[in-house]
């Protein structure tokens, strides 16, 4: 499988008879078929700017593309604004699909442009003439051979030569699987930079994080060795630099980079200097764009990326439907959705400012509902918003939150608690989400990071519906442990809210449940479960078991809550020293779904505590092999799904005298958690044993 940095498009692959290295010269063009004069010119959007003062830009692309993707690409080209520029088109037709070739010809008939087929070029292509130049692409990615890459470099050089011969002020060299915002070209031209790319983001492998097509150093380093990624940034850690760089690219602006490609405006000064895509013989970097960038920097040209209007990349056929969502956002006529932040607060003077500072520039409206503060909460809130409302507390969180939602006026509503924040990296992601969110999305879920390891890594998080369309009128349900009832089109985002609890835990929720219990209220299955949680958290273990049993007896409720209830019953039975009931509760969880790693680890520990290592090993092995739930809303203990069972298998195998298997599992555990003290101790233990064995056999 090819390196993810080989971000080529299907417009660049070549097949057929031997091809030429150059576009025909002016004298040769007379012998070629000439297209009729354009029947429809691009519309001038500002007639006050004379044609003579507008820059002449050649929009160019070598094209090998499926018709469906090419259609989206061409539609976005004809929608480009042209207030300060005049444009022509040049397409090098290298299509396999006849429909794609016809689409290009039809396009240039309607616009100022030319299509040249690779077979009409003079000369011959170096390399194996029998090689059709195919490359493979599928849902996994695009896979290139080295000779194909450098053939693409020659096609790009032909385009640069054409622009130079015809004295264009610049060439906008763009891949044909991109969809552009209408303001893209005007924005790039206005930057006045000699080489500037428009940004786009792509998951180069399925399920991976979206990454940009620009970088800072070498083939694709997102940091600068020996220096900071950003000005005024002193962090030398490579991960920190990369994170800072990626966060910066999410903020609209124009930034200097070390490498770019695929969507680039190249000015005449660069063309006349002779910067091109030729391979640099003593550089092994993969990809013609890297060699172009190295040559450009050697000639003294800086490289920039503009992030104001990110393009949409149709890297896979499965990405094609997203183009429609991208275009819908553009047609809205807004740069992004508008957000009302709705909060309910009481005596939050120590945390409220921190929370609101983290949403500066993101929330278009802030609604604060005060349920009875006696400290400086209202005065602090008044520094951020005029929308402050009083709400009489009635022991009902849903009622308070619904009241807050009713005061909102923006298109989307977001909610936070006062001790929540968006960390800098999540602020950047949220800003990008605000700009790019498809207005057809009804609710956006976000991770809720609740606890962390000493190293600062997230140890426990869950997902919440955090951002919802106001016109869907979603409502909060539940007086305690309320939830937002949503339906429709959900987006599971990579944005996270971080919880920074700074108040002493109280029995407020338990008192509310007790009051409702005394009033004879019938509890819903969800309330039965959460009442059990409150009782357990306050050490009322017998009562907690009673309510968990009532919940399970209903046969209702979310399956994840039923599995969790079994584990919590086991917790209570363990405290009450009733081991048979403890194990029975754990086994009961298997009635609701496939065994979860958390339960298997718990059973492994149950048997390991009784020195039954054979059964302990069985259950820890089940944890290793467990099927991870596909629903992103499921709360998982990542330790149980990664390093924990391997660490325990190390211990169990060591107790049984199988040192080889013990070391094997400790090594696996270390790959998940390289700094864990127990694993490091075990590693030293095995190394010492190995040394002793060598000395004994010497």
| pLDDT above 70 as % of the chain | 86
Q: Is the pLDDT of residue 22 over 50?
A: no
d(CA 595, CA 39): 67
- C-beta of residue 88 within 8 angstroms of C-beta of residue 113: yes
- The strand order across the sheet containing 388-390 reads 388-390, 365-370, 339-345, 412-415, 458-469, 443-452, 490-499, 420-421
Is the pLDDT reported for residue 228 higher than 60? no
Residues 491 and 535 in one domain: no
If one counts the domains in the chain, the total is 4
Domain co-membership, 512 together with 494: no
Give residue-wise pLDDT tens across range 137-151. 666 666 667 777 888
Question: Does pLDDT of 236 surpass 90?
Answer: no
Task: Tell me whether residue 5 is in a domain.
Answer: no
Write the pLDDT tens digit of every residue in 525-578. 999 999 999 999 999 999 999 999 999 999 999 999 999 999 999 999 999 999
Confidence label for 21 from pLDDT (cuts 50, 70 and 90)? very low
Nearest to 306 by CA among 267, 256, 343: 256
- What integer is the mean pLDDT of 603-615? 97
Between vectors from CA 61 to CA 56 and to CA 66, what angle results, nearest 5°?
140
Give yes or no: residues 174 and 266 share one domain: yes
Please report the DSSP string for 149-214 in residue order: HHHHHHHHHHHHHHHHHTT-SEEEEE-TTEE--TTHHHHHHHT--SEEEEEEEE-SSTTSPPEES-
**Span 238-266, average pLDDT:** 90
Task: State the pTM of this model.
Answer: 0.61
Straight-line distance from the first to the last Cα atom of the chain, in angstroms, rounded to the nearest whole number: 46
Identify the band that residue 384 occupies on the pLDDT scale cut at 50, 70 and 90. very high
Q: Do residues 526 and 457 share a domain? A: no
Residue 230, pLDDT > 60, answer no
Domain annotation covers residue 230: no
| Choice between 327 and 577, residue whose per-residue pLDDT is larger | 577
Residues 445, 429 share a domain: yes
Q: Which residue has the higher pLDDT, 171 or 234?
A: 171
Least confident of 33-42, 461-470, 660-669: 33-42
| DSSP letter, residue 42 | P
Kind and range of the H or E element at 148? helix 146-165
Instruction: State residue 227's pLDDT score.
Output: 54
Exposure on the CB side of residue 562, measured as CA atoms within 13 A? 18
CB atoms under 10 Å from CB of 419, counted, come to 17
* pLDDT tier at 1, thresholds 50, 70, 90: very low
Closest CA to 550 of 513, 504, 595, 600: 513
Structure tokens at 57: 């830009």
Domain coverage including residue 76: 55-123+143-225+238-331
pLDDT at 50: 62
pLDDT band for position 234 (cuts 50, 70, 90): very low
pLDDT tens string 171-214: 999 999 999 999 999 999 999 999 999 999 988 877 677 899 99
Tell me which of 10-24, 236-250, 351-365 is least confident: 10-24
Q: Residue 338 above 70 pLDDT? A: yes
12 within some domain: no
Residues 180, 244, single domain; the answer is: yes
303-313 and 136-138 beta bridge pairing: unpaired
CATH classification at residue 277: 3.90.550.10
Please give the structure tokens belonging to residue 405: 């939602």
Residues 6+ apart with CB under 8 A from 484: 401, 415, 443, 464, 465, 468, 474, 475, 476, 477
Domain stops at, among 455, 470, 499: 499
| Tokens matching residue 697 | 């056999």
Residues 410 and 439 in one domain: yes
Going by the DSSP 8-state scheme, the letter that residue 49 receives in this structure is S
Task: Give yes or no: residues 323 and 355 share one domain.
Answer: no
Q: Is the pLDDT of residue 24 over 50?
A: no
Mean of all residue pLDDT scores within the chain: 86
**Residue 133 belongs to a domain:** no
pLDDT of residue 107 exceeding 60: yes
Same domain, 441 and 563: no
71 or 116, greater pLDDT = 71
671 in a structural domain: yes
Last-in-domain residue among 575, 593, 611: 593
Average pLDDT over residues 361-365: 94
pLDDT grade for 695, boundaries at 50, 70 and 90:
confident
Residue 116, helix vs strand vs coil: strand
Residues 477 and 527 reside in one and the same domain: no
Q: Is the pLDDT of residue 27 over 80?
A: no
Q: Around 116, how many Cα atoms within 13 Å sit in the side-chain half-sphere?
A: 25
Between 585 and 221, residue with greater pLDDT: 585
Residue 13: band (very low, low, confident or very high) from pLDDT cuts 50, 70, 90: very low
CATH code at 664? Answer: 1.25.40
Decide if 460 is inside a domain: yes
Give the domain-ending residue among 315, 331, 347: 331
Inside any domain, residue 130: no
What average pLDDT score do residues 269-285 get? Answer: 92
> Do residues 307 and 293 share a domain?
yes
- Asked if residue 172 and residue 280 are part of one domain, the reply reads yes
Model pLDDT, residue 133: 55
Q: Is residue 585 part of a domain?
A: yes
- Residue 333: its pLDDT value, please? 59
pLDDT at position 137: 65
Which range among 449-463, 511-525, 533-547 shows the weakest confidence by mean pLDDT? Answer: 449-463
> How buried is residue 298: exposed, middle or buried, by Cβ count under 10 Å (0-12/13-18/19+)?
exposed
């Amino acid at each position: 499988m090819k390196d993810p940095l080989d971000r080529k498009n299907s417009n660049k692959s070549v097949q057929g008879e031997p091809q030429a290295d150059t576009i025909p010269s002016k004298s040769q063009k007379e012998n070629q078929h000439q297209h009729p004069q354009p029947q429809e010119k691009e519309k001038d959007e500002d007639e006050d700017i004379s044609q003579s003062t507008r820059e002449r830009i050649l929009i160019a692309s070598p094209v090998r593309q499926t018709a469906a993707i090419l259609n989206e690409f061409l539609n976005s080209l004809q929608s480009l604004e042209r207030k300060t520029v005049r444009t022509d088109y040049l397409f090098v037709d290298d299509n396999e699909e006849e429909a794609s070739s016809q689409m290009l010809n039809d396009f240039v008939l309607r616009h100022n442009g030319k299509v040249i087929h690779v077979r009409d070029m003079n000369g011959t292509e170096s390399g194996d003439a029998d090689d059709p130049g195919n490359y493979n692409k599928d849902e996994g990615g695009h896979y290139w051979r080295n000779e194909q890459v450098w053939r693409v470099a020659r096609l790009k050089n032909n385009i640069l030569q054409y622009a130079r011969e015809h004295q264009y002020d610049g060439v906008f060299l763009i891949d044909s699987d991109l969809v552009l915002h209408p303001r893209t070209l005007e924005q790039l031209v206005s930057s006045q930079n000699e080489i500037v790319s428009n940004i786009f983001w792509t998951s180069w492998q399925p399920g991976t994080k979206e990454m940009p097509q620009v970088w800072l150093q070498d083939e694709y380093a997102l940091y600068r060795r020996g220096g900071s990624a950003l000005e005024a940034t002193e962090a030398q850690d490579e991960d920190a630099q990369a994170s800072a760089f990626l966060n910066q690219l999410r903020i609209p602006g124009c930034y200097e980079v070390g490498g770019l490609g695929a969507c680039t405006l190249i000015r005449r000064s660069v063309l006349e200097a002779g910067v091109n895509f030729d391979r640099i013989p003593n550089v092994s970097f993969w990809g013609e764009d890297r060699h172009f960038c190295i040559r450009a920097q050697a000639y003294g040209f800086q490289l920039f990326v503009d992030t104001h209007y990110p393009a949409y990349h149709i890297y896979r056929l499965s990405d094609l439907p997203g183009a429609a969502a991208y275009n819908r956002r553009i047609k809205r006529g807004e740069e992004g959705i508008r957000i009302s932040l709705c909060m309910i607060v009481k005596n939050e003077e120590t945390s409220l400012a921190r929370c609101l500072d983290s949403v500066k520039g993101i929330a278009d409206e802030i609604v604060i509902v005060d349920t009875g503060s006696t400290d400086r909460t209202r005065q602090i809130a008044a520094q951020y918003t005029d929308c402050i409302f009083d709400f009489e507390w009635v022991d009902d969180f849903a009622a308070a939150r619904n009241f807050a939602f009713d005061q909102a006026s923006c298109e989307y509503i977001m909610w936070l608690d006062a001790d929540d924040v968006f960390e800098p990296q999540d602020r950047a992601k949220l800003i990008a989400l605000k700009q790019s969110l498809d207005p057809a999305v009804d609710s956006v879920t976000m991770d809720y990071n609740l606890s962390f390891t000493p190293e600062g890594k997230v140890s426990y998080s869950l997902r919440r519906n955090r951002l919802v369309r106001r016109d869907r009128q979603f409502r909060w349900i539940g007086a305690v442990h309320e939830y937002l009832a949503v339906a429709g089109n959900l987006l599971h985002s990579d944005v996270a809210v971080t919880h920074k609890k700074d108040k002493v835990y109280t029995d407020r929720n338990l008192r509310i449940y007790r009051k409702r219990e005394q009033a004879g209220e019938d509890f819903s299955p969800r309330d039965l479960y959460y009442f059990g949680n409150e009782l357990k958290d306050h050490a009322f273990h017998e009562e907690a078991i009673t309510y968990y049993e009532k919940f399970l007896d209903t046969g209702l409720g979310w399956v994840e809550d039923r599995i969790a209830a079994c584990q919590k019953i086991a917790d209570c039975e363990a405290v009450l020293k009733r081991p048979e009931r403890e194990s029975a509760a754990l086994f009961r969880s298997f009635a609701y779904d496939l065994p979860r790693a958390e339960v298997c680890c718990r059973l492994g520990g149950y048997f390991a505590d009784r020195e039954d290592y054979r059964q302990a090993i069985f259950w820890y092995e089940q944890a290793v092999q467990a099927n991870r739930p596909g629903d992103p809303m499921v709360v998982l203990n990542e330790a149980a799904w990664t390093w924990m069972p391997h660490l325990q298998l190390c211990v169990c195998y060591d107790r049984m005298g199988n040192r080889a298997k013990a070391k094997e599992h400790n090594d696996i555990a270390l790959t998940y958690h390289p700094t864990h003290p127990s694993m490091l101790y075990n590693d030293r233990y095995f190394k010492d044993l190995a040394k002793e064995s060598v000395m004994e056999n010497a």
